[in-house]
Amino acid sequence: MTDDKTIREKKTTTQTAPAAGFPTVRYEFITPAFAAEMLAHNTNNRRVRRARVLAYASQMKSGAWHLTHQGVAIGHDGLLYDGQHRLMAVVESGASVWMLVVRGLAPSARAEIDTGDKRVVCDTIRIVDGITHSSQMTGACRVIALVSGDATHRTRAVPIDEHRRIMDEYADGIAAIEAVFHSAVKNITRSPVLAALVFAYNADPDGVVSAAVDLRDGANLAAGDPILALRNSLSAAASRRDEAEGVFFKFKRALAAIDARLRGRKLMRSGTKDGALIGNAVFERYAAVNAAKAT
């Protein structure tokens, strides 16, 4: 008598391979010269995202590159189907790394590559580290990494290890602000705004939490209160769908309003001329406080 397990095994072993044969799969040591050779066959791929190349290259240079099941895919026509950003990063960094390389894919496989939902940073932090943050707070950590990084860092995506560093260094502020904004508030819970609250937290924890609560609720705020001015500007920007305001602009505007509240100053209108932070007295004062606490 044949059991179900034996039947399943027979069905598995009797299935025939595709006409073109199965692709080969193995880990290979990718040098800059080897990467350049494969990129020579990158004739028809999606648009290159320079920020991603720089982020990968940074990880490779620092030794933070991790070996995963994702790597390079090459068709049996010899063309590069997947992995252009990784290979460009190898060339950019000058480092040699191990990657999984799949060779011999059918051209029809290209239609299925990178079509699934992308895992975002908050997913990775939750799955790998067991830490759950809202997508807005994870975005706030990214903003802090961008505004506190050097000039080159601001032009590229933020590596996951940098997110972890920010979450560690700003843990108290993140916990406090996330406790206030335990659920999203329309027009208010934007990543640059939450980032400004977290960034200012170490200078005056009680004052920043009070400002966050008032920003959330908007109750009994007198004319001239900087938090009322900030709420009004956030609502106005949302109503006109002002996408021209970049991350640095929004962060700087929010930080200026928070600073005015903490210093007891009145502010009828919340705004800023630009998003420049280097040389800005308000930004550099809070940056110094955070740097001192980190050491």
Q: Does 72 or 8 have the greater pLDDT score?
A: 72
Chain segment 124-146, per-residue pLDDT in tens: 555 445 555 667 778 888 889 88
The chain-wide mean pLDDT, for the chain, equals 81
Domains parsed from the chain with CATH numbers: 16-105 (3.90.1530), 121-294 (no CATH)
For 89-103, what is the mean pLDDT? 94
For 34-48, what is the mean pLDDT? 88
Of 191, 147, 144, 183, the residue nearest 167 (C-alpha): 144
The pLDDT of residue 211 is 96
pLDDT for residue 208 is more than 70 = yes
- The pair phi, psi for residue 25, each rounded to 5°, is -135, 125
In the chain, % of residues over pLDDT 90: 41
pLDDT confidence tier of residue 1, bands split at 50, 70 and 90: very low
The pLDDT of residue 269 is 79
The whole-angstrom separation of Cα 232 and Cα 287 is 26
The pLDDT of residue 70 is 85
Do the beta carbons of residue 74 and residue 100 sit within 8 Å? Answer: no
Q: What angle do CA 78, 104, 35 make, to 5 degrees?
A: 50
For 83-112, what is the mean pLDDT? 89
The pLDDT of residue 7 is 45
The pLDDT of residue 32 is 95
pLDDT for residue 242 is more than 70 = no
Chain segment 53-67, per-residue pLDDT in tens: 888 898 899 888 888
**244: exposed, middle or buried (Cβ count in 10 Å: 0-12, 13-18, 19+):** exposed
